[in-house]
């Protein structure tokens, strides 16, 4: 019998092994892993365009929300037609047509050394800043700007928070703030999404009379003259609140949209 077995091919010898033998167990395990990984990677590749599309749609939904134009169940693409996406050259504070505002990806540009600058002074902890920023405008029937929506991002405690701030046409009074992406802790830092906290933002003034950024997210009760610039820090989430304070002040300050807001007000953007 051993002689007969020696004449068999390796495959026939393998087939002759009992089903619970080590080689067969390993083969089944490896085949199963390969099969599953093919299914998972195939699904990931196939779903990628849908995921990208959903990300774009979610961003549009957030812009509509911060603009106060979002209605549950409404067609987002249709509603977004009321929004005018524009590009702003952050350094000059002027509109730019260097790229297509509808398709420009500020997040990708911030990673591209040709399209971004490395920050030495970096209070929002973002490392690099895209030279062009995507902003959004709402206009009335006469073509006058009714709202300015600016993108913001910066580090909280665990993650980079991405969001928008909406301002009145004076470029000073806040009408809303909303984050659409972060990984802060639910119940703590993630309370930035709590409507009660978000409702503290409308009506606050970004700049003081001297034109300096005065808006602050901080603990404690502010003095009467500071109240119009003050948003209470989140209880139990001082570090995320500090991150929001840093990122809002960064993006509305000299390194952010301050020059653009001044130009816009002066009709020179």
Q: Looking at beta carbons only, is 42 or 187 nearer to ligand FMN? A: 187
Cα–Cα distance measured from residue 75 to residue 161, given in angstroms and rounded to the nearest whole number: 26
How many other β-carbons are positioned within 10 Å of the β-carbon of residue 232? 14
Q: Looking at beta carbons only, is 188 or 200 nearer to ligand FMN? A: 188
Q: Looking at beta carbons only, is 54 or 194 nearer to ligand FMN? A: 194
Q: How far is the CB of 263 from ligand FMN (least distance, A)?
A: 35
Q: Tokens for 222?
A: 């502010």
Q: How many residues does the chain have?
A: 269
Q: How far is the CB of 19 from ligand FMN (least distance, A)?
A: 47
Q: How far is the CB of 268 from ligand FMN (least distance, A)?
A: 40
Cα–Cα distance measured from residue 269 to residue 182, given in angstroms and rounded to the nearest whole number: 31
Cα–Cα distance measured from residue 196 to residue 187, given in angstroms and rounded to the nearest whole number: 13
Q: How far is the CB of 218 from ligand FMN (least distance, A)?
A: 11
The DSSP line for 113-169 is TTTEEE-SS-TT--SEEESEEEEEEEE-TTS-EEEEEEEEEEE-SSSEEEEEEEE-T
The residue among 39, 26, 28, 265 whose CA lies nearest residue 148 is 265
Q: Looking at beta carbons only, is 163 or 171 nearer to ligand FMN? A: 163
Q: How far is the CB of 193 from ligand FMN (least distance, A)?
A: 12
Q: How far is the CB of 240 from ligand FMN (least distance, A)?
A: 4
Q: Looking at beta carbons only, is 217 or 237 nearer to ligand FMN? A: 237
Nearest residue to ligand FMN, scored by beta-carbon proximity: 189
Q: What is the dihedral of CA 25, 29, 35, 41, to 10 degrees?
A: -170
Q: Looking at beta carbons only, is 28 or 235 nearer to ligand FMN? A: 235
The residue among 264, 259, 251, 217 whose CA lies nearest residue 110 is 251
Q: Looking at beta carbons only, is 185 or 216 nearer to ligand FMN? A: 185
What are the residues binding ligand FMN (CB under 6 A)?
157-158, 184-185, 188-189, 235-240
Q: How far is the CB of 127 from ligand FMN (least distance, A)?
A: 21
Cα–Cα distance measured from residue 88 to residue 187, given in angstroms and rounded to the nearest whole number: 35
């Amino acid at each position: 019998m051993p002689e007969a077995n020696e004449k068999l091919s390796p495959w026939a010898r393998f087939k002759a092994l009992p089903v619970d033998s080590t080689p067969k167990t390993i083969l089944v395990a490896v085949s199963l892993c390969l099969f599953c990984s093919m299914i998972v990677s195939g699904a990931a590749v196939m779903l990628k365009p849908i995921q990208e599309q959903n990300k774009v749609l979610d961003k549009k939904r957030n812009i509509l929300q911060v603009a106060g134009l979002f209605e549950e169940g409404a067609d987002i693409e249709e509603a977004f037609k009321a929004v005018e996406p524009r590009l702003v050259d952050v350094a000059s504070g002027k509109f730019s047509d260097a790229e297509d505002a509808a398709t420009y990806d500020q997040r990708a540009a911030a990673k591209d050394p040709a399209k971004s600058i490395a920050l030495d002074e970096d209070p929002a902890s973002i490392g690099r800043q895209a030279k062009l920023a995507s902003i959004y405008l709402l206009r009335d029937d006469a073509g006058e700007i009714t709202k300015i929506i600016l993108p913001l991002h910066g580090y909280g405690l665990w993650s980079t928070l991405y969001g928008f701030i909406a301002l009145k046409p004076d470029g000073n009074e806040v009408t809303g703030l909303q984050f659409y992406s972060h990984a802060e802790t639910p119940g703590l830092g993630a309370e930035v999404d709590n409507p009660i906290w978000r409702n503290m933002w409308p009506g606050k003034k970004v700049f003081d009379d001297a034109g300096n950024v005065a808006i602050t997210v901080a603990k404690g009760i502010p003095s009467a003259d500071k109240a119009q610039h003050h948003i209470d820090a989140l209880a139990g989430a001082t570090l995320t609140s500090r991150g929001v304070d840093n990122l809002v002040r960064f993006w509305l300050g000299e390194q952010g949209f301050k020059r653009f807001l001044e130009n816009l007000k002066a009709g020179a953007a």
